[in-house]
């Protein structure tokens, strides 16, 4: 029997965990007060807010006061970069990688328009950062290096310890977009000297509309949302308490799933990947197979159009993606795969599958059954079925 839906797009968003939802419900009913109110009906909720902060901080092995709650990963990335740039106006140079999410990339583009110098560091064919290029890019004006912890499209993990060593030697701050790492790999801020780390609840089974920024104790940073005194005056706005409490629970669940459960998800991902590579010719993995988060695979399927593939998969109830959810709808090939130099014969036909704790073996097998037929039907419609044919055409 085929499942109604196989959801393998967990890097786009995840299902809210049932345990998370039940923690949240009282905050829509009897506990609807404002934690900033003077009377106990509101003020007592500070305890729930701080408990959620403790649970979230535990996932990062950091102090609770180092966690600032925000509305999403995008806000956290914007806050990190703009907050630091505003705090150090004398520094005029920012470094990022070519494969950052638009939350970082477009914030940097905004700063460039405002007159800052922005350098983008390239990656190898496997998606690994060029550390020599990074070293050479730092100069006396450099304020910040922003490098994601794990790439949303390929899952490739970046060597942040090494990046921190390079940056800190030169007195440069490090921000990491940890949105795709949280809940997938262990995080320990006592060992990783990054100054800022962005995260987003809906990527680890909390609801959409809540996220946070880790801010190393003592770091000078200007608020991004200017308003009330909430979050120790680092982020104005009444706290989204129900979602923050939900994210605290999700953090607790994520911490408990980093061991055996991550191994199970990795084995399922590998089964899916191996099965596809074996049953479909002209396929390859995009991204370094040795340095990836356990839930993600990005597979280049040559001589095929990704959008057509997604539609055909959708008809069979399978949710996957060709790039980041934010880039879908654009016909431009992914900036991540372009930066990696993925050949044009498969850059449009690259498919990302991202699994979660709710993914089952039966679901993986269902995809393995469905995909070869879909690919061969689409390839029959394709004008080119081999590199030789393309070369003969003179493309
Ligand atoms: N950074 C990365 C690496 C992401 O994958 C995403 C979302 O896909 C974001 C930032 C943005 O997070 P949010 O959707 O919570 O704004």
Q: Is the CB–ligand 1 distance for residue 177 below 6 Å?
A: yes
Could you tell me if 184 and 209 are in contact, meaning their C-beta atoms sit under 8 angstroms apart? no
pLDDT for 388 equals 63
Q: Tens digit of pLDDT for each residue in 370-386?
A: 999 999 999 988 766 66
Site to substitute for ligand 1 among 69, 100, 152, most atoms within 8 A of C-beta: 152
Tell me the best of 9, 10, 16, 73 to mutate to test the pocket of ligand 1, counting ligand atoms within 8 Å of each CB and taking the most. Answer: 73
Query: Model-level pTM?
Result: 0.95
Q: Is the pLDDT of residue 330 over 70?
A: no
Q: Is a pLDDT exceeding 60 seen at residue 157?
A: yes
Known catalytic membership, residue 326: yes
Name the active-site residue from 62, 72, 147, 326: 326
Q: Is 155 in the pocket of ligand 1 (CB under 6 A)?
A: no
Distance 373 CA to ligand 1 centre (A): 33
Phi, psi at residue 69, to the nearest 5°?
A: -80, 140
pLDDT on residue 391: 60
152 CB within 6 A, ligand 1: yes
**If we measure between CA atoms, which residue out of 71, 81, 82 comes closest to residue 238?**
71
Q: Per-residue pLDDT averaged across 40-67, rounded?
A: 98
Domains of the chain: 6-14+257-394 (3.90.1150.10), 18-256 (3.40.640.10)
* Ligand 1 neighbourhood includes 180 CB (under 6 angstroms): yes
User: What tens digit of pLDDT does each residue of 220-276 get?
Assistant: 999 999 999 999 999 999 999 999 999 999 999 999 999 999 999 999 999 999 999
Q: Is 212 in the pocket of ligand 1 (CB under 6 A)?
A: no
Query: What CA–CA distance (Å, rounded) separates 104 from 73?
Result: 10
Instruction: Find out whether the beta carbon of 324 lies less than 6 Å from any atom of ligand 1.
Output: yes
The atom number, within ligand 1, closest to the CA of 201 reads: 15
What is the predicted pLDDT for the residue at 345? 86
Is a pLDDT exceeding 90 seen at residue 395?
no
Residue 127 has pLDDT above 70, yes or no: yes
73 Cα–ligand 1 center, Å: 5
| Cα 337 from Cα 295, distance rounded (Å) | 19
Instruction: Kindly state the tokens that stand for 125.
Output: 């064919």
3 state SS of 289:
coil
Atom 7 in ligand 1: residue holding the nearest Cα: 12
Q: If we measure between CA atoms, which residue out of 392, 214, 380 comes closest to residue 305? A: 380
Could you report the per-residue pLDDT of 64-115, keeping only the tens digit for each?
999 999 999 999 999 999 999 999 999 999 999 999 999 999 999 999 999 9
Q: Nearest to residue 295, comparing CAs of 354, 237, 369, 340?
A: 354
């Amino acid at each position: 029997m085929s499942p109604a839906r196989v959801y393998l797009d967990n890097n786009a968003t995840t299902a809210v965990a049932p345990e998370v939802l039940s923690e949240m419900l009282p905050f829509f009913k009897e506990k609807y007060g404002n934690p900033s109110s003077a009377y106990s009906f509101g003020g007592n909720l500070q305890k729930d807010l701080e408990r959620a902060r403790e649970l979230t901080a535990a996932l990062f092995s950091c102090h609770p006061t180092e966690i600032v709650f925000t509305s999403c990963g995008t806000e956290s990335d914007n806050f990190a970069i703009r907050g630091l740039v505003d705090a150090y106006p004398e520094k005029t140079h920012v470094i990022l990688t070519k494969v950052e999410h638009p939350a970082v990339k477009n914030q940097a583009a905004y700063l460039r328009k405002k007159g800052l110098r922005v350098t983008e560091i390239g990656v190898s064919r496997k998606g690994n950062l060029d550390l020599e290029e990074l070293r050479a890019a730092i100069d006396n004006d450099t304020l910040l290096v922003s490098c994601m912890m794990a790439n949303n499209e390929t899952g490739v993990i970046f060597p942040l310890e090494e990046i921190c060593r390079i940056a800190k030697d030169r007195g440069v701050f490090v921000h990491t977009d940890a949105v795709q790492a949280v809940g997938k790999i262990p995080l320990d801020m006592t060992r990783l000297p990054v100054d800022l780390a962005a995260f987003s609840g809906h990527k680890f089974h909390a609801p959409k509309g809540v996220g946070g920024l880790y801010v190393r104790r003592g770091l000078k940073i200007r608020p991004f949302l200017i308003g009330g005194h909430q979050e120790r005056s680092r982020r104005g706005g009444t706290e989204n308490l129900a979602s923050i409490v939900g994210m605290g629970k999700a953090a607790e669940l994520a911490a408990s799933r980093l061991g055996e459960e991550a191994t199970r998800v990795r084995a399922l991902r590998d089964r899916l990947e191996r099965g596809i590579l074996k049953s479909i010719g002209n396929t390859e993995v995009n991204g370094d197979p040795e340095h990836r988060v356990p839930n993600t695979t990005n597979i280049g399927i040559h001589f095929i159009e990704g959008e057509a593939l997604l539609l055909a998969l959708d008809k069979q109830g399978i949710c996957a993606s060709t790039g980041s959810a934010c880039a879908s709808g654009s016909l431009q090939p992914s900036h991540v795969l372009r930066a990696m130099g993925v050949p044009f014969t498969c850059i449009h036909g690259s498919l990302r599958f991202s699994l979660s704790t709710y993914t089952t073996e039966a679901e993986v097998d269902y995809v393995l059954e469905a995909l070869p037929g879909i690919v061969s039907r689409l390839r029959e419609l394709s004008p080119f079925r081999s590199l030789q044919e393309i070369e003969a055409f003179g493309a």
